Structure 1
């Protein structure tokens, strides 16, 4: 359940980031997405 919640949560964040970044910033978008996953990952272990 917690993994499914994390996937939905990341998808919502991804949609918000896509709304802010343009296709010209696709490289910085991938960096920001990776940074968010790294920050959320330790917290997701607490709910497992």
Structure 2
């Protein structure tokens, strides 16, 4: 599972990391999640991909 979102130690950065063999699928999800994050909206999958899950 990749890590997508903000990291507690880097509050001004957004991350989309660790795709493995599912890069195309997770890169689309990552793009949607970061887009929502920048709009101050909560993405429904954010809980699954967050750091320190």
| Structure 1 length-normalised TM | 0.45
How does the TM-score come out when normalised to structure 2?
0.42
Structure holding more strand per residue: 2
Q: Which has the higher contact order (CA 8 A, sep 6+)?
A: 1
Which has more radius of gyration? 1
